[in-house]
Amino acid sequence: MKTNDIILQTATKVVLFLIILFSIHIFFAGHYTPGGGFVGGLLTSGAIVLLLLAFDMKTVSKILPVNYIHMIAVGLLFAIGTGAGALLFNVPFLTHAFGHVDLPILGDTSLHTATLFDLGVFLVVVGVTMTIIQTIGEDE
Amino acid sequence: MINFLILPILIPLVTGVLLIFAAKRIMLQRWIAGISSVIAIILSALLVQKVRVDGIQTLDVSSWEAPFGITLVSDMMSALLVLTTSIIAFLCLIYSFWSIGEAREKFYYYAAFNFLIVGVNGAFTTGDIFNLFVFFEVMLMASYVLLVLGGKKAQLRESIKYILVNVISSALFVIAVAYLYSVVGTLNMAHISVRISEASQGNPPGIITVIAVLFLIVFGLKGAIFPLYFWMPGSYYAPPAPVLALFGALLTKVGVYSITRTYTLFFYHDTGFTHQLLSFLAIMSIIAGVIGAIAYWDIKKIIIYNIIIAVGAILFGVSAMTTDSLTGSIFYLIHDMIIKAALFLLAGIIIAIAGTSNLHKISGLIKRYPGLGWTFFIAALALAGIPPLSGFVGKLLIIKGGFEAEHYWGAGIVLMSSLLVLFSIMKIFINGFWGTPRAYKGEDKVPVGKMMIAPVILVVIAVFYGAGSEYVYPYILQAAETLANPEIYIEAVLKEY
């Protein structure tokens, strides 16, 4: 039976970007308020899952030709690298650094190495969720 | 360098991640994994020497001071165990090159292997009870992968059992930690020890004893003590030899280490109950293990039941709580890690040649494989503790400590068990290596010479560990003194205390 999912597909094309924008917002919000790499990652993978539901696996892998297992590894490298950076300065592992920087457009911005760590978490969460969902999806 | 003690955890972690990228290129994977584990051995040997010279090493991760952040602590016991783990990991790795098969190598075998080592080394090093749980989980996740990789029917069946048991015990672990936290209000192990001592002036509160028993159940499930070993003979039977050697040599020992750590650092106030219980369970483990080891006619099963006997002997030494018996326990713990790895790898070769692990269907191997036969023979003698091999000193000290603590019948059973261990392992030697040689299908394809490298090195280490025990003894004694006197550990972690 051919299902008519034109409403879902049209809505997805708009909602997808809203979800991803919101996930980026949540990701950066995690710096001082609730949020962070984990929920941000879950939201992003939620967006990709919506794409999978509306279209099919072939289309999605054409749009996003990403090897999610490599994505996990890249995320882990970010997280470990942030921690191991402390070794270069001879301070305990995972010690973070932060400071205020004057950026051209954004003005006075506080930068924190924890964001890099969180980016690693973000990538791992997206990678793991998508690997699980793809593996289950392939079984059919 | 301030971060020195984290390197044996960090190196396999980075290696594991890099190996994910190289998944399809087998030779590259082998080189990366091999070189990184050699570096890990060198660094952990340097760490042992550093602890020997400068005393206990601590690292307040993320610069949060103890007891508020997570502290990693390398005392002599943990440094020695990390060194042993690194050596066994390297040897199991090179054994895998010729035995694990291309299919597994392409499916993240080496990555999972390295993550397992991260978990084991982390569990040995951490000084925070919740962080211990985290490293247990890292180790277990990797072990699930290694157990199920290959997807044979027996593997899938045993994986379900194994995962179920471990999920339940992990849940209990969190519950136990939560109980402990609600009573003492801290997670730092040194600080927990201080708080329990303060609460136990004169008479320890009953809740502490309850928590002690809860921890015994949790770690007993991982460490396979009586009556919680039921899952082990089946689950360890399923995976291939190098994975089995890793599990048998390392995973149960992490449980044993955790019992030793918690029962010497936290729960040493109500020894009349907790340590009596521990000694009873240890003796029952020895008896149950001996019965299994004698009853079975299957090479793998016999050696797996010997793990339970060893766990019993080590924990009996811990329960006696004298410096002698603790020295013996640590001595025997390291001996058992080395010799179990050697035996499982040798058993793997026998099974690869014969195509079966049933002793009734194997005989006369010594005609064609004399090297294999005699290596197995020496390993068997070392396991049983024939002097001057490595099992002897440890068992002697455990029994001596048992007599000092007036556990006469317990020490007697440990003594008797050696004889039956010898019998069970000689059964493999007599039935498998003597008798009329048979022709086995496909035995010419087995690269016996290359596979022999790792077990031969392990047996040589075991021989030197026993014969050179005079040189090893000061290190072990230092480790035991820290266990016997918790103040040393507490002072190193909390400094101002």
> Binning pLDDT at 50, 70 and 90, where does residue B496 land?
low
What average pLDDT does this structure show over A111-126? 91
Q: Are B488 and B481 in contact (CB under 8 A)?
A: yes
Residue B118 has pLDDT above 60, yes or no: yes
Q: What is the pLDDT of residue B186?
A: 92
Q: What is the pLDDT of residue B27?
A: 92
Element (H, E) at A112: strand A107-112
Q: What is the pLDDT of residue B53?
A: 93
> Binning pLDDT at 50, 70 and 90, where does residue A131 land?
very high
Residues in CB range of B82: below 8 A, 6 or more apart: B8, B44, B47, B74, B121, B124, B125
What average pLDDT does this structure show over A38-42? 94
Contact map slice: B 31-60 vs A, CB within 8 A = 59-60
What average pLDDT does this structure show over B258-285? 91
> Binning pLDDT at 50, 70 and 90, where does residue B254 land?
very high
Q: What is the pLDDT of residue A110?
A: 79
Q: What is the pLDDT of residue B49?
A: 94
For the segment B351-395, what is each residue's pLDDT rounded down to a tens digit?
999 888 888 888 888 888 899 999 999 999 999 888 888 888 889
Residues in CB range of B110: below 8 A, 6 or more apart: B16, B19, B29, B30, B32, B33, B93, B96
By C-alpha distance, which of A135, A72, A123 is closest to B19?
A72
Distance of CA B130 to the CA centre of its chain: 20
- Residue that is written with structure tokens 């990538």 in the block: A123
For the segment A55-89, what is each residue's pLDDT rounded down to a tens digit?
888 888 888 888 999 999 999 999 999 999 888 88
Contacts of residues B230-234 at CB distance under 8 Å and 24 or more positions apart, as own/partner, are B231/B161, B231/B162, B231/B165, B232/B304, B232/B307, B232/B308, B233/B292, B233/B301, B233/B304, B233/B305, B234/B158, B234/B161
> Binning pLDDT at 50, 70 and 90, where does residue A111 land?
confident
Q: Pick from A77, A90, A91: which is nearest to B17 by CB?
A: A77
Number of domains in chain B: 1
Using DSSP's 3-state secondary structure scheme, residue A127 falls into helix
> Binning pLDDT at 50, 70 and 90, where does residue B47 land?
very high
By C-alpha distance, which of B20, B48, B19, B23 is closest to B35?
B19
Residue B72 has pLDDT above 80, yes or no: yes
The Cβ of residue B157 has, within 10 Å, a number of other Cβ atoms equal to 13
Interface test with B, best of A68, A71, A93 (most B CBs within 10 A): A93
Q: What is the pLDDT of residue A112?
A: 84
Domain that holds residue B438: 4-494
Q: What is the pLDDT of residue B241?
A: 92
What average pLDDT does this structure show over B6-27? 93
C-alpha distances in Å from residue A83, one per residue of A70, A106, B59, B109: 20, 27, 13, 25
Beta carbons of A95 and B17 less than 8 Å apart: no
Q: What is the pLDDT of residue A2?
A: 62
The Cβ of residue A18 has, within 10 Å, a number of other Cβ atoms equal to 10
Residue B434 has pLDDT above 90, yes or no: no
C-alpha distances in Å from residue B128, one per residue of B59, B66, B190, B358: 11, 10, 8, 44
Contact map slice: B 58-117 vs A, CB within 8 A = 59-63
CA dihedral B81→B82→B88→B91, nearest 10 degrees, is -150
Q: Is A112 on the interface with B (CB under 8 A)?
A: no
ipTM confidence: 0.90
- Bridge partners, residue B57, by sequence: B74
Q: What is the pLDDT of residue B483?
A: 92
* Local structure of residue A34 (DSSP, 8 states): S
> Binning pLDDT at 50, 70 and 90, where does residue B30 land?
very high
Q: What is the pLDDT of residue B318?
A: 92
Which pTM value belongs to this model? Answer: 0.94
Q: What is the mean pLDDT of chain B?
A: 91
d(CA A109, CA A64): 32
d(CA A7, CA A13): 10
Beta carbons of A95 and B3 less than 8 Å apart: no
For Cα atoms B29, B132, B162, give the angle at the middle one, nearest 5 degrees.
65
For the segment B447-456, what is each residue's pLDDT rounded down to a tens digit?
888 999 999 9
Q: Pick from A76, A84, A92: which is nearest to B62 by CB?
A: A92
Element (H, E) at A101: strand A98-103
Residue B442 has pLDDT above 80, yes or no: no
Q: Is A73 on the interface with B (CB under 8 A)?
A: yes
Beta carbons of A92 and B60 less than 8 Å apart: yes
Q: What is the pLDDT of residue B334?
A: 95
Q: Is B383 on the interface with A (CB under 8 A)?
A: no
Q: What is the pLDDT of residue B482?
A: 92
What average pLDDT does this structure show over B47-63? 92
Residues in CB range of B410: below 8 A, 6 or more apart: B279, B282, B283, B316, B402
Total CB pairs under 8 A between chain A and B: 43
Q: What is the pLDDT of residue A140?
A: 54
Residue B219 has pLDDT above 90, yes or no: yes
Q: Is B6 on the interface with A (CB under 8 A)?
A: yes
Beta carbons of A86 and B17 less than 8 Å apart: no
Residue A32 has pLDDT above 90, yes or no: no
> Binning pLDDT at 50, 70 and 90, where does residue A109 land?
confident
> Binning pLDDT at 50, 70 and 90, where does residue A40 land?
very high
